[in-house]
C-alpha cells in the first residue's frame, strides 16, 4: 500500500502515518520527493489487511492511499517514481549519471592490480572492480586469493582513490569484505541465495546484484526486494546475459532488459558485456549498445596481459586499449543523455 502525502504535509503528519502503520505490525518506508512524500506500507497479506483497516486516507496531511499492485513493493516505480541516484565513494550513478566500473576479473598479484588500477583511473573510470573470491563452475579452477586479494584491493583503493567493487559469495566473509568494498557484488549464481541477500541488506553497503542465468525480470527485481526489505536502499541491477539456445557466444545479452527494467523499477541499471560475450572482440560493441539503450553504468574487465590472465582472459580488454574504449563509451552515453564519469560535486 502506498500513502501519498499532500505537498504541504508536515513532519508531524508524516510521522503520525508512520506510527499508525507500525502499530499494526507493518513497516513504513518514507520516500521524500521534490513535490510530495510517499510512504510505502510493507508487510505480509495479514498486515496489509490490518493497514487497510486503518483508514489512513482520513488522516491530516494524507492526499490518497493507493494499492501497490506489483509483488516487488520497494523496488517498484509506484513506490519511488523518480529514478534513484546514488553517490558511492564520490562516484555518481543513476538518473543522468553514467558510471564506468572496470578492472580485472580477479586479483592475481599486486603488480597486476596496481597496473590495472592506474590504467582505469587514467581513463577516467569511476570505480575499480576486482574479485578476491571467485565463483567457478569447476571446483578445481582458481577460486581467488581471498583475504590476501582483499588486502591488495585496499592498497589500490588507498593509492588511487577509486571506490572498490568486489564479489561476496558467502555470508561468513561479510566482515572482511565490508572492510574494503564500497560496492558488494552478488553474482548471478547467488541471485536467489535469499539468506545471503538478506545478510547484505542488513550490512547496509551498496550492492551490485547480477541477474541469474535463467531469471525472468520479475524474479530479478524480487531478488533485489530481499535486500531493500532489510533497509538497504542502494541496490543496482546488473544485466550480464542469460542462457538461451544460442551457442555462438557465451550468453545472450538481453539489452531489452534495460528499458523494461527502467519502467519496472527506480533502481540504477548496469550492464556487464564481458561475461555476456566471453569474447574480447564483442565487448566494445555490446558496451556501446548498452550505453545507447540507456544503461546507468557498465562493469567491464580489463587486464595488462589478458593472454596470461588466470581467470577469463579471453573476455578482458587489453589495458593498452582501455582509454580508447572508455572514450567511445563516454561519447555514446552523452548522446543517450547521460553526464558520464563524474565525481560527486562535479558538473558536466
| Residue 262 falls inside a structural domain | yes
> In the structure, what pLDDT confidence band is assigned to residue 38 with cuts at 50, 70 and 90?
confident
Query: Cβ(241)–Cβ(248) under 8 Å?
Result: no
171/261 same-domain check: yes
Residue with cell 578492472: 103
Query: Each residue of 131-145: pLDDT tens digit?
Result: 998 766 666 566 678
Mean pLDDT of 84-93: 95
113/8 same-domain check: no
pLDDT at 55: 85
DSSP E strands, 202-281: 207-210, 235-239, 269-271
111/215 same-domain check: yes
47/98 same-domain check: no
50/153 same-domain check: no
| Residue 201 falls inside a structural domain | yes
Query: Each residue of 227-274: pLDDT tens digit?
Result: 998 989 999 999 999 999 999 999 999 999 999 999 999 999 999 999
Domain with 253, as residue range(s), is 86-340
Query: Cβ(271)–Cβ(290) under 8 Å?
Result: yes
| Residue 80 falls inside a structural domain | no
pLDDT surpassing 60 at residue 348: no
Strands 2-5 and 37-42: antiparallel
128/277 same-domain check: yes
Helix or strand or coil: residue 311? coil
Buried b (16+ CB within 10 A) or exposed e, 85-106: ebebbbbbbbbebbbbbbbbbb
Q: Whole-angstrom Cα distance, residue 36 to residue 38?
A: 7
pLDDT at 42: 79
pLDDT at 298: 98
152/59 same-domain check: no
50/192 same-domain check: no
pLDDT at 114: 97
| Residue 47 falls inside a structural domain | yes
Query: Each residue of 115-136: pLDDT tens digit?
Result: 999 999 999 999 999 999 876 6
Q: Whole-angstrom Cα distance, residue 114 to residue 86?
A: 27
pLDDT surpassing 90 at residue 27: no
Mean pLDDT of 321-346: 85
Beta bridge partners of 94: 97
57/162 same-domain check: no
87-96, 133-142, 209-218, 338-347: least confidently modelled range: 338-347
124/32 same-domain check: no
Coarse DSSP helix, strand, coil percentages of the chain, rounded to the nearest 5 percent: 40, 20, 40
Domain containing residue 267: CATH number:
3.20.20.70
Domain containing residue 28: CATH number:
3.30.70.1140
Domain count, the chain: 2
Comparing 337 with 339, the larger pLDDT belongs to 337
Query: Cβ(264)–Cβ(77) under 8 Å?
Result: yes
62/108 same-domain check: no
Amino acid at each position: 500500500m502506498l500513502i501519498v502525502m499532500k505537498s504541504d504535509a508536515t513532519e508531524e503528519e508524516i510521522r503520525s502515518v508512520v506510527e499508525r502503520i507500525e502499530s499494526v505490525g507493518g513497516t513504513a518506508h518514507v520516500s521524500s520527493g521534490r513535490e510530495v512524500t510517499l510512504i510505502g506500507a510493507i508487510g505480509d497479506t495479514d498486515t496489509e489487511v490490518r493497514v487497510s483497516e486503518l483508514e489512513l486516507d482520513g488522516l491530516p496531511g494524507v492526499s490518497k492511499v493507493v494499492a501497490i499492485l506489483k509483488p516487488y513493493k520497494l523496488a517498484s516505480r509506484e513506490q519511488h517514481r523518480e529514478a534513484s541516484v546514488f553517490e558511492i565513494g564520490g562516484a555518481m550513478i543513476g538518473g543522468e549519471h553514467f558510471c564506468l566500473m572496470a578492472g580485472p576479473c580477479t586479483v592475481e598479484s599486486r603488480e597486476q592490480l596496481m597496473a590495472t588500477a592506474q590504467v582505469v583511473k587514467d581513463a577516467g573510470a569511476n570505480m575499480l572492480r576486482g574479485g578476491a573470491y571467485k565463483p567457478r563452475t569447476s571446483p578445481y579452477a582458481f577460486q581467488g586469493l581471498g583475504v590476501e586479494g582483499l588486502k591488495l584491493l585496499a592498497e589500490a583503493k588507498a593509492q588511487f582513490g577509486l571506490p572498490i567493487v568486489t564479489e561476496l559469495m558467502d555470508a561468513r566473509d561479510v566482515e572482511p569484505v565490508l572492510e574494503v568494498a564500497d560496492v558488494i557484488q552478488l553474482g548471478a549464481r547467488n541471485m536467489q541465495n535469499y539468506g545471503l541477500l538478506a545478510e547484505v541488506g542488513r550490512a547496509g553497503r551498496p550492492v551490485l546484484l547480477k541477474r541469474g542465468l535463467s531469471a525472468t525480470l520479475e524474479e530479478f527485481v524480487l531478488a533485489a526486494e530481499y535486500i531493500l526489505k532489510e533497509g538497504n536502499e542502494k541496490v543496482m541491477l546488473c544485466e550480464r546475459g542469460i542462457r538461451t539456445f544460442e551457442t555462438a557466444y557465451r550468453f545472450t545479452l538481453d539489452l531489452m532488459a534495460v528499458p523494461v527494467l527502467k519502467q519496472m523499477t527506480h533502481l540504477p541499471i548496469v550492464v556487464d558485456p564481458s561475461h555476456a560475450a566471453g569474447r574480447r572482440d564483442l565487448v566494445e560493441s555490446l558496451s556501446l549498445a548498452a550505453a545507447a539503450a540507456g544503461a546507468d553504468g557498465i562493469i567491464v574487465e580489463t587486464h595488462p596481459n589478458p593472454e596470461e590472465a588466470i581467470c577469463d582472459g579471453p573476455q578482458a580488454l587489453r589495458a593498452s586499449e582501455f582509454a580508447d574504449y572508455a572514450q567511445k563509451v563516454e561519447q555514446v552515453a552523452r548522446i543517450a543523455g547521460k553526464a558520464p564519469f563524474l565525481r560527486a560535486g562535479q558538473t558536466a
